[in-house]
Amino acid sequence: MRDGHTSRRAFLGASCGLAGAALIEPSSFLGSAFSSRAQDTPATGDTPADYSLTIATTPIELAPNRIISVTNYNGEFPGPLLRFKEGQRVTIDIHNHTDRPEQVHWHGQFVRADVDGAAEEGTPFVPPHSSRRISFVPGPSGLRFYHTHVRAGADLSAGQYSGLVGPVYIEPKHNPGAYDREVFLTLKEFQPTLSRGGDMAMDFLSPAATVPTLKDQGESAMRASLAKGNQHGYEVGYDAFTINGRMLGHGEPVRVKQGERVLFHVLNGSAGEIRSLALPGHTFTVVAMDGNPLPAPVRVPGLWLGTAERISAVVEMRHPGVWIMGDLSDDDRHHGMGIVVEYAGAKGKPQWLAPKPFKWNYTHFGRPGAPETPPDDTADDTFDMLFEKQNAASNGFNLWTINGVAFRGAASGASPTDQMMAPASFHLRQGRRYRLRMRNASDDIHPIHLHRHTFELTRIAGQPTSGVMKDVVMVGGYQEVEVDFVASNPGPTLFHCHQQLHMDYGFMSLFDYV
């Protein structure tokens, strides 16, 4: 484990964490190359913060002789694992050593809008070459993460195309699940390039039923655009694929013993890819999605994760050998998306075997049937949202709209300072339960994220469900998904597709409380 993690844990164990901040050696949380620079930075107070994140562009070694230069946290990728305790306030110094204004978003937490890390909600930027100290009470418990939340536009070195992603684990007040140890895996691609049109895997979602009216609408819009002589809008592809920042075969293997129960915390830290993961001869028992415990654990042969989704799953190690835990896509795995799992005493070349084909159906993880609690007032408290693509409409990039509106500043492109707050499109009353009925009139899968709240999956492509609490959900091409949430965290709240390319080009909307 990383230094920061070990130090924090050791410290908490020794002193129960009381009045701990002042006693912590700040440099223990920093990559050694940056500790002195970070400590030199003024204006963050006399007391050391609990944690320190330094944003800078440094070399990162994905594999021997495959060293890239990316912006990252503390000189490493992924950023340091930050372990918080639910309900125990933390302070974090953010040092920005780049030329760009930055935001650190606390994905999946119920924090205030002024520290959530989205300019669209009113969080102040961390200006270039300066620092900001933030403080919040972590929660809810489980696997969360932090990442940059600035617009990249056409700049593939900015936003989440960079290495600005790191895992967060918030320890619950009581410890769920029986496992021997935890392993954190951050899945992330590097070396992005643009192409005209892409080949995203589409056929893994179940139910597969599409809505004819959405399909007709999306296909006729695309036909009309192509008939006018437009090419397909740009998509982003990648040359390097990594788990925990190393291409397959070039990182430390996950070393296991027969009979061990390993709890994997998997984070899809991609800027826009959907990922899969399998371990030959083993099954995953999913215990939590997006950090939130499921109604009951569910066994699956492999995992699928949309951009920004997280899965916590226990794997019982009962199949000795040296295995490749990797993506189902041969191409992506051959370009690095995998990690070796090595049993004690096992020798030889890591083996990959594709699992039997399986579909990914969110409703398998929930209870059958809709939630017992419907929205407070079904008519008033249901928000209909239609997602549409305008092919290549913004300098060759697809423009995205929610109910006909592209979020303000989207078409103007790359400058992160364009991210002004737009007027809210949806209005909430505190304490009420709302339903979002999302209708996707495009053929892409959109991993849809709501800030500062958790929602319950209630209907997936026509199939009712309940009990699965998430903050990101994939909405399949030409499909409908419904989620419910309680307006429990006043303040501006951003809603967006988590694909960097889509959110940058309009696929965002703001909720407010009235």
Q: CA 383 → CA 120, 131, 132, 431, distances in Å?
A: 20, 39, 36, 16
When the beta carbons of 436 and 497 are compared against Cu ion, the nearer one is 497
Report, in Å, the least distance between residue 447 CB and Cu ion: 7
Residues that contact Cu ion, how many (by CB under 5 A):
4
When the beta carbons of 263 and 274 are compared against Cu ion, the nearer one is 274
Binding of Cu ion by 497 (CB under 5 A): yes
Binding of Cu ion by 248 (CB under 5 A): no
Binding of Cu ion by 389 (CB under 5 A): no
| CB contact set of 10 (below 8 Å; sequence gap of 6+) | none
Report, in Å, the least distance between residue 389 CB and Cu ion: 9
Written as one letter, the residue type at 60 is I
When the beta carbons of 275 and 502 are compared against Cu ion, the nearer one is 502
- Provide φ and ψ at 416, rounded to 5°: -65, -25
CA 280 from chain centre, in angstroms, equals: 25
Return d(Cα 101, Cα 250) in angstroms, integer.
33
Integer Rg of the chain from CA: 22
Which two structure tokens, joined as six digits, stand for 64? Answer: 């021997």
When the beta carbons of 381 and 443 are compared against Cu ion, the nearer one is 443
Report, in Å, the least distance between residue 496 CB and Cu ion: 8
Binding of Cu ion by 439 (CB under 5 A): no
Report, in Å, the least distance between residue 272 CB and Cu ion: 8
Longest dimension (CA), the chain: 69
Which two structure tokens, joined as six digits, stand for 105? Answer: 């978003």
**CB–CB of 85/16 below 8 Å?**
no
When the beta carbons of 342 and 504 are compared against Cu ion, the nearer one is 504
Question: What is the CB neighbour count within 10 angstroms for residue 444?
Answer: 24
Q: Looking at 4-12, 43-51, 129-137, 439-447, which segment touches Cu ion (CB under 5 A)?
A: 439-447
When the beta carbons of 132 and 188 are compared against Cu ion, the nearer one is 188
Q: What is the DSSP string of 116-135?
A: HS-GGGTPPPB-TTEEEEEE
**78 preceded by a cis bond (ω within 30 of 0):** yes
Binding of Cu ion by 440 (CB under 5 A): no
Coil, helix or strand at residue 269: coil
Report, in Å, the least distance between residue 162 CB and Cu ion: 19
Report, in Å, the least distance between residue 246 CB and Cu ion: 28
When the beta carbons of 125 and 495 are compared against Cu ion, the nearer one is 495
- Provide φ and ψ at 378, rounded to 5°: -55, -40
Exactly one of 446, 449, 452, 470 binds Cu ion (CB under 5 A); that residue is: 446
Exactly one of 72, 84, 502, 504 binds Cu ion (CB under 5 A); that residue is: 502
Half-sphere exposure of 204 (CA within 13 A, CB side): 22
Q: Looking at 37-45, 132-140, 303-311, 441-449, which segment touches Cu ion (CB under 5 A)?
A: 441-449
Binding of Cu ion by 499 (CB under 5 A): yes
When the beta carbons of 132 and 449 are compared against Cu ion, the nearer one is 449
Q: Looking at 73-81, 191-199, 294-302, 499-507, which segment touches Cu ion (CB under 5 A)?
A: 499-507
Chain positions contacting Cu ion, by CB under 5 A = 446, 497, 499, 502
